[in-house]
Amino acid sequence: MIKRITAFIFAVMMVLSLTVVAASAEGSYTVKLDDSADLLSDSEESSLLSTMQDLSDACKCNVVFITTNDLTGANFSFNGTADDYAFRYYETTCGVNVDGLLVYVTLKDEGGKRKVGVFGTGKCEKRLTNEESDNIRSNAISNHNPDTHSYYDFLNSIALGLKEAVPPHLKWYMLPIALGIGFLIAMLIMGSMKKKLTTVEMQHGAANYVRPGSMNVTQSRDTYLYSTVTRTAKPKNDSGGSHSSSGGGSYSGGSSNF
């Protein structure tokens, strides 16, 4: 029986491996780095693109990074803000509400200040919360010094933060498959254990488990032992979908001046 269970588990592992490989081969995603502000060297661009590709492969979504000196020269309409500039750039590149992660750095936003934004759209809108975006931006900003640190470190830190924060993409059919496999394995194990219990019979009362004369109750009393306290967690206001573009797109995340 043990050999049968081992063979079954091995077969299941093979099926899951083939399923994962097939799922990872599906779909193609845009990975684009537009360094219009010329903040990166050629080698830094190549290295950052490699990290962005890893991010796209892990999350199964588009990944777009943008750097600009200012908000001029756009070949698309936007409402004049840095956030909407980035949103409209993404939408003209990948489409409206198409699954993706968007990062931008501008050296001069609508207020003349540097700004960085980290956003998720499509399915990534729910997978990247506002709080996670805040943490990623704060970490990159706190470790950035324009006099001693390059923008490559800054952007690479954001890419790595996104890869850690955004859950891996799973196909919808993988959950019921996993549940079914777990149920079958449990049934096999329980069946094997049941066959070993040949000497056990169900009793309809507790009399056979009590020694005669050992349960003489002479007095009784009520004793307070403990109390039960129920606590309800305070809801967190970190859900996505709080930003809308002038093109009709919806985004989670946020931006910060630095």
Q: What is the pLDDT of residue 86?
A: 98
Among 2-16, 23-37, 40-54, which is the least confidently predicted range? 2-16
Quick one: CATH architecture of 27-171+240-257?
Answer: Roll (3.10)
Q: What is the pLDDT of residue 172?
A: 54
- The residue whose two tokens read 């995603």 is 29
Q: Does residue 83 carry a pLDDT above 90?
A: yes
Q: What is the pLDDT of residues 118-150, one digit of tens each?
A: 999 999 999 999 999 999 999 999 999 877 778
Sequence-separated (6 or more) residues with CB below 8 Å from residue 153: 143, 144
Q: What is the pLDDT of residue 239?
A: 38
pLDDT class of 22 with cuts at 50, 70, 90: very low
Q: What is the pLDDT of residue 54?
A: 97
Sequence-separated (6 or more) residues with CB below 8 Å from residue 125: 97, 240, 241, 250, 251, 252
Q: What is the pLDDT of residue 20?
A: 44
Q: What is the pLDDT of residue 146?
A: 75
State how far the alpha carbon of 35 is from the alpha carbons of 20, 64, 106, 155, in Å.
34, 11, 10, 11
- Cα–Cα distance, 119 to 162 (Å, whole number): 10
Q: What is the pLDDT of residues 89-104, one digit of tens each?
A: 999 999 999 999 999 9
Q: What is the pLDDT of residue 188?
A: 73
27 in helix, strand or coil? coil
209 secondary structure, DSSP code: G
CA atoms within 13 A on the CB side of 47: 13
Q: What is the pLDDT of residue 16?
A: 47
Q: What is the pLDDT of residue 11?
A: 46
- The residue whose two tokens read 């919808």 is 172
Q: What is the pLDDT of residues 202-253, one digit of tens each?
A: 666 666 666 776 667 677 777 766 666 666 544 343 334 589 999 999 999 9
**Averaged pLDDT for residues 37-45:** 97
Helix or strand run (H / E) with residue 227 = none
Domain edges within the chain: 27-171+240-257
Arithmetic mean of pLDDT over the chain? 82
Q: What is the pLDDT of residue 153?
A: 96
Q: What is the pLDDT of residue 196?
A: 65
**Averaged pLDDT for residues 177-203:** 67
